[in-house]
Structure 1
Amino acid sequence: MEKRSEFLKKKKNKGRRNIFLILLFLLLAGAGYFAYQYNNGVSMANEDKVSDSDSKENMKFEPFEGAEAQFGEINVLLIGNDARADEEEARSDALMIGHYNQDTNEVKLVSLMRDTYVEVPEYGMQKLNAAFFLGGPELVRKTIKHNFDVDVQYYAIVNFEGFSKIVDVIAPEGIEVDIPYAMSHGIGMTLEPGEQHLNGDQLLGYVRFRHDIQSDFGRVKRQQEALSKLKDEAVSMNTLFNLPKLLGVIDPYIDTNVDGKTLFTIGKGMLTGGKSKDLETLRIPAEGTYIDRRVNVGEVLDADLDQNKDLLKEFLSDANQNN
């Protein structure tokens, strides 16, 4: 009887040890997979590196002093920087606020028109995009806070050169769009009209193009369309497995104060909990809240800032998410 009891005890301990070994193996395998995919993504990005003058190592800005991050809702200042443009005037920069709700895994996107006429702290009335060139992401944050009373916790400066690689990782078969007319001027390619799947380079050209009757308004609309469709492609198990690789692809092209753990957590939450949820978008200034003017800094959108401040805060509020 004692021998049987001792045998059962040894068998039980062996079973526990085997379970522990299996769990340890899975953890090690997961860590190895993460490292492999991440390094694979970095290798992909390094095949077409950004120039030294535009790399994140050479970006020198004032310390970012955004609001302290708390569980619940996160605002990320997204700044697109087109390093491939040949002329300063032709830069296809983008300025957005990405809003992520950690409770619902919902994502909202606010596009801020770069020609919006605002007061830049210490520099007076300027176009909104001047804040980045004058003082980097911290001055952009201060400008948004000063004019719209909305603060952000994080920032991310994304080089458009990496955009095409990110697209190809998320959507290897391309992103389907309906091009209304031929696009060629200023994008280094010709996109013919009609429904088609665009790869990363082509989609980059699609969102950069602004030489039409809608100018920057059309460009912002296409940016929101592309990001919305990319988000839809991303919420799949296949992309979840590719998330480490995607983070590796992004790394050389992004300067951000979001730590890797937080970035992975947000990405995981969006991919696993964001299915069937449309990306809500807003443009500031909103239609009917501004007039076109020519001032000392050029052609601007002279907006009713109080009205747009209310629209922005309502859009980002919890109450609006429940509607």
Structure 2
Amino acid sequence: MNKRQDRHRKKKKKKKFVRGFFFLLVLILGFAGYIFYQYYTGLQAAGEGFDKNAATDFDGAEVDKLGKINVLLLGIDSRGEEKSRTDTIMIAQYDTKEGTAKLVSIMRDTYVEIPDYKNYKVNTAYFLGGPELLRETIQENFGIDLHYYALVDFKGFQQVVDTLAPEGIEMDVEQSMSKNIGVSLEPGVQMLDGAELLGYARYRADAKGDFGRVERQQKVINALKDELISVNGVTKLPKLIGTVQPYIETNVDGAEVIGILKDFVLNTPEDIETMTIPVEGSYTSASYSHAGSVLEIDMEENKAALDAFLNGGSSVVTSDSEEEQ
């Protein structure tokens, strides 16, 4: 090969590289533009959201080398009050190494020791001192370290469902439901929109009361997980983040959210394991003048059960069934 042919070959190779690089750059910019557009669309459609306390402290533990992330999930119905109790208290755990997810619901009437206060219902800790005091309460009573918190207004939940699944989420409604949920539901398998799914998750006017409500909440979260990891759900992630942003307060920054979501989507758990505190047979109903009706629990039994469920160990009895965790 003479020098002229060699120069010609190198010139052609350089042109191909430039064209390929330009094409890749266009793809990256187009993808970034799509993400921004979807995020902005979700943000615009979401509305004003609720007033957040940007100064909220949360002294969460550092995520250890085991890769298990514990998030305190709190659900509130914001109606403009300066202070409110949280209707929903959950611990969500995602194991980034094993790709497993677990969800613990703590009954809001559980009677616990609140640091520097009297014993109260566990949801009173949020009323008295926000997410941080609730974190301290859970750590002191159950010995569980929490790394992050996410406070979600129920209006945001409704918006997310309607954005993720405009046709609704399939749910098997066990019975007629209407009392204090703002919608009327009839028994049977059906597609529920955001308002209906929220009403289903909040219903507690049956024999199971709050325990039934917790079971439905866990059922709803599993259904949403399946929709989120579908191809349809993954393409809507930027819009979903924009939609929920006005309705969520959290100490997880944007980069951490993206990292956790990436791990979750790429290593999706087949199912979300669930349990409820207090566990079956470990509590009695009681009443106190300063706290009202409460669930008085066997603290050691529940502490051991929660530790076994989240950190491994012996079999535990959950409120749903007896199984090896």
Normalising by structure 1, report the TM-score.
0.91
Partner-residue secondary structure (3-state), 1:186: coil
Of 228, 249, 254, 1:260 maps to 254
* 2:48 is aligned with 1:55: no
In structure 1, distance between residues paired with 2:9 and 2:152? 60
* 2:295 is aligned with 1:294: no
Any conservation in 2 of the 1:243–1:267 contact (CA below 8 Å)?
no
Task: Specify the code of the residue in structure 2 equivalent to 1:255.
Answer: E
* Cα shift readout 1:152-195 (whole Å, capped 9, x = no counterpart): 11000000011111112222221222222221111122112222
Task: Specify the code of the residue in structure 1 equivalent to 2:306.
Answer: L
* 2:32 is aligned with 1:41: no
- Aligned residue for 1:83? 78
User: 4+ runs of 1 displaced by more than 3 Å?
Assistant: 318-323
In structure 2, distance between residues paired with 1:41 and 1:318? 39
* 2:224 is aligned with 1:230: yes
Partner-residue secondary structure (3-state), 1:80: strand
- Aligned residue for 2:320? none
- Aligned residue for 1:158? 152
Of 206-215 and 145-154, more deviation after overlay is shown by 206-215
Partner-residue secondary structure (3-state), 1:5: helix
- Aligned residue for 2:98? 104
Task: Specify the code of the residue in structure 1 equivalent to 2:75.
Answer: G
Any conservation in 2 of the 1:77–1:152 contact (CA below 8 Å)?
yes
Of 303, 309, 313, 2:303 maps to 309
TM-superposed deviation, 1:271 = 2.2
Of 306-315 and 134-143, more deviation after overlay is shown by 306-315
**How large is the Cα RMSD of the aligned pairs?**
2.2
Of 136, 139, 148, 2:142 maps to 148
Of 267, 272, 275, 1:273 maps to 267
Normalising by structure 2, report the TM-score.
0.90
Any conservation in 2 of the 1:85–1:92 contact (CA below 8 Å)?
no
TM-superposed deviation, 1:15 = 1.8
Change over 3 Å in CA distance of 1:37–1:320 after alignment to 2: farther
Partner-residue secondary structure (3-state), 2:46: helix
| Unaligned ranges ≥5, structure 1 | none
TM-superposed deviation, 1:117 = 0.5
Of 135-144 and 265-274, more deviation after overlay is shown by 265-274
Task: Specify the code of the residue in structure 2 equivalent to 1:76.
Answer: V
* 2:275 is aligned with 1:282: yes
Any conservation in 2 of the 1:61–1:138 contact (CA below 8 Å)?
no
Any conservation in 1 of the 2:73–2:151 contact (CA below 8 Å)?
yes
Task: Specify the code of the residue in structure 1 equivalent to 2:150.
Answer: A
Task: Specify the code of the residue in structure 1 equivalent to 2:143.
Answer: D
Any conservation in 1 of the 2:183–2:195 contact (CA below 8 Å)?
no
Equivalent residues, number: 313
* Cα shift readout 1:19-77 (whole Å, capped 9, x = no counterpart): 2222222221121111111101111212xx33xxx422xx3665111101345111110
Task: Specify the code of the residue in structure 2 equivalent to 1:78.
Answer: L
In structure 2, distance between residues paired with 1:134 and 1:92? 11
Partner-residue secondary structure (3-state), 1:75: strand
In structure 1, distance between residues paired with 2:21 and 2:64? 35
* Cα shift readout 1:136-163 (whole Å, capped 9, x = no counterpart): 0000000000000001110000000111
In structure 2, distance between residues paired with 1:115 and 1:182? 25
Change over 3 Å in CA distance of 1:306–1:85 after alignment to 2: farther
Task: Specify the code of the residue in structure 2 equivalent to 1:278.
Answer: D
Change over 3 Å in CA distance of 1:177–1:136 after alignment to 2: same
In structure 2, distance between residues paired with 1:66 and 1:284? 21
Partner-residue secondary structure (3-state), 1:185: coil
Of 95, 103, 107, 2:89 maps to 95
| Unaligned ranges ≥5, structure 2 | 316-323
In structure 2, distance between residues paired with 1:217 and 1:63? 30
- Aligned residue for 2:169? 175
TM-superposed deviation, 1:244 = 0.7
Change over 3 Å in CA distance of 1:235–1:320 after alignment to 2: farther
